[in-house]
C-alpha cells in the first residue's frame, strides 16, 4: 500500500472510475475520497463506453457479413487467443473502455498525465501492464485497503474537497458492467436482432457460445463476460450481496444522475474525441 500511495502522491493521477463503483462506494463521497488521496481528477469510464459503442455500431453496420466477439473483457480476450486461436480475428479491433479512457485523458489533460484505473477485477491489471497504456490499476478491494492505510497516515478524510466528477461522462452507459449492456446501449436497431446475439456471464459458457457461433452463420455478435454475475460478480468486488441487488444499485445510480446530467456541460459528446485512436493492441 505504501508504494501505491507514493505513486498517487507523486503523480497526482487522473482516477478512471469503473461504472460498477456504486456497488461498493457511495456517490459523491467516492470522488472526495479519491481527491483526498491526491488524485488530481476523477472521471467515469462511461464516456469511453459511449465512444466504444459508436465504434462497435459502425463496425457491425459496415460489415454485416462478419461474426464478431466483444473485446471489452480481458479474460475473454486471453481465453479466445489461447483456446480458440482460429477465432482470434473475430475479436473486435477496438480497444477496451479502460484503454480508450486512458488514451483520451492523457491527450485531453496533457501527455504527462498519469492514470489510475479503479475496477473490480484483477484481469484489468494484466491488460494495463501488457498494453502499457494505464499507469496503475487497482481493484475496489485494494482501494478500500488503501483508504484504511491512508487513514493511518493522515487524520481524517476531507469530505469538503470537490465532490463532482470532472469532464466527461455519459448516462446510458452507466449500466455497462451488466449483461446485455453493450448490445443495449450501442444503438443496434437495424443492425442486429436479439437472435443474432449471444450473451454469457461465465467463462464455462464460452465454449458453448463459440460452438453455436460456428454452427450458425446468423449469429453475428458475442458479448462474453467471464465472471458469474457480470462485472459485479468478481470476488474482488467488496459487496457480498446477490447480483440482482448489486445491479439494482447501478440502475438506481443511473436514474439518480439522469436529470442532473441531462443538460450538464460536462456531458461527454462524441465529437470531443474525433481525433482518438481506437486500435486494440491487446488482441
Determine contact, residues 31/165, Cβ cutoff 8 Å: yes
**Does residue 80 bind ligand SF4 (CB under 6 A)?**
no
Span of 23-31, 63-71, 119-127, 140-148 interacting with ligand SF4 by CB under 6 A: 119-127
Minimum distance from residue 104 beta carbon to ligand SF4 (Å):
19
175 is a contact residue toward ligand SF4 (CB under 6 A)? no
Distances 234 to 136, 139, 201 between C-alpha atoms, Å: 19, 10, 11
> CA 259, CA 266: separation in Å to the nearest integer?
13
Provide, rounded to whole angstroms, the least separation between the CB of residue 80 and ligand SF4. Answer: 12
Which residues in the 5-24 window bind ligand SF4 by CB under 6 A?
none
Helices within 112-231 (DSSP H only): 123-131, 140-153, 181-185, 206-215
Using the rule CB under 6 A, which residue among 75, 102, 139, 185 binds ligand SF4? Answer: 75
Q: Which residue is at the shortest CB distance from ligand SF4?
A: 121
Cα angle, residue 182 at apex, residues 174 and 198 outer, rounded to 5°: 140
Nearest distance in Å: CB 275, ligand SF4: 27
Which whole-number Å values give the CA distances from 240 to 145, 179, 245, 250, in the listed order? 17, 19, 10, 15
What residues numbered 124-153 form the site for ligand SF4, per CB under 6 A? 124
Q: Does 222 bind ligand SF4 (CB under 6 A)?
A: no
Binding footprint of ligand SF4 on the chain (CB under 6 A): 73, 75, 120-121, 123-124, 225-227, 231, 234
Amino acid at each position: 500500500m505504501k508504494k501505491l500511495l507514493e505513486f498517487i502522491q507523486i503523480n497526482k493521477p487522473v482516477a478512471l472510475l469503473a461504472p460498477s463503483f456504486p456497488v461498493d462506494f457511495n456517490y459523491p463521497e467516492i470522488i472526495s475520497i479519491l481527491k483526498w488521496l491526491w488524485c488530481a481528477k476523477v472521471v467515469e469510464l462511461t464516456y469511453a463506453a459511449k465512444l466504444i459503442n459508436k465504434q462497435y455500431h459502425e463496425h457491425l453496420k459496415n460489415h454485416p457479413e462478419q461474426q464478431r466477439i466483444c473485446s471489452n473483457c480481458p479474460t475473454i480476450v486471453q481465453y479466445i487467443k489461447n483456446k480458440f486461436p482460429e477465432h482470434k480475428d473475430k475479436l473486435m479491433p477496438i480497444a477496451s473502455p479502460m484503454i480508450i479512457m486512458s488514451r483520451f485523458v492523457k491527450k485531453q489533460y496533457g501527455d504527462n498525465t498519469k492514470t489510475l484505473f479503479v475496477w473490480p477485477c484483477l484481469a484489468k491489471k494484466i491488460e494495463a501492464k501488457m498494453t502499457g497504456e494505464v499507469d496503475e490499476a487497482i481493484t475496489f478491494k485494494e482501494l478500500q485497503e488503501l483508504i484504511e492505510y491512508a487513514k493511518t497516515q493522515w487524520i481524517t478524510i476531507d469530505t469538503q474537497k470537490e465532490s463532482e466528477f470532472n469532464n466527461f461522462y455519459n448516462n446510458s452507459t452507466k449500466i455497462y458492467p451488466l449483461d446485455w449492456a453493450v448490445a443495449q446501449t450501442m444503438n443496434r436497431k437495424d443492425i442486429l436482432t436479439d437472435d443474432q446475439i449471444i450473451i454469457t456471464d461465465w467463462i464455462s459458457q464460452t465454449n458453448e457460445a463459440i460452438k453455436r457461433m460456428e454452427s450458425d452463420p446468423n449469429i453475428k455478435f458475442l458479448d462474453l463476460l467471464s465472471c458469474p454475475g457480470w462485472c459485479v460478480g468478481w470476488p474482488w468486488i467488496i459487496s457480498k450481496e446477490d447480483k440482482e441487488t448489486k445491479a439494482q444499485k447501478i440502475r438506481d445510480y443511473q436514474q439518480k444522475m439522469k436529470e442532473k446530467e441531462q443538460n450538464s456541460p460536462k456531458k461527454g459528446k462524441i465529437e470531443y474525441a474525433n481525433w482518438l485512436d481506437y486500435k486494440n493492441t491487446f488482441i
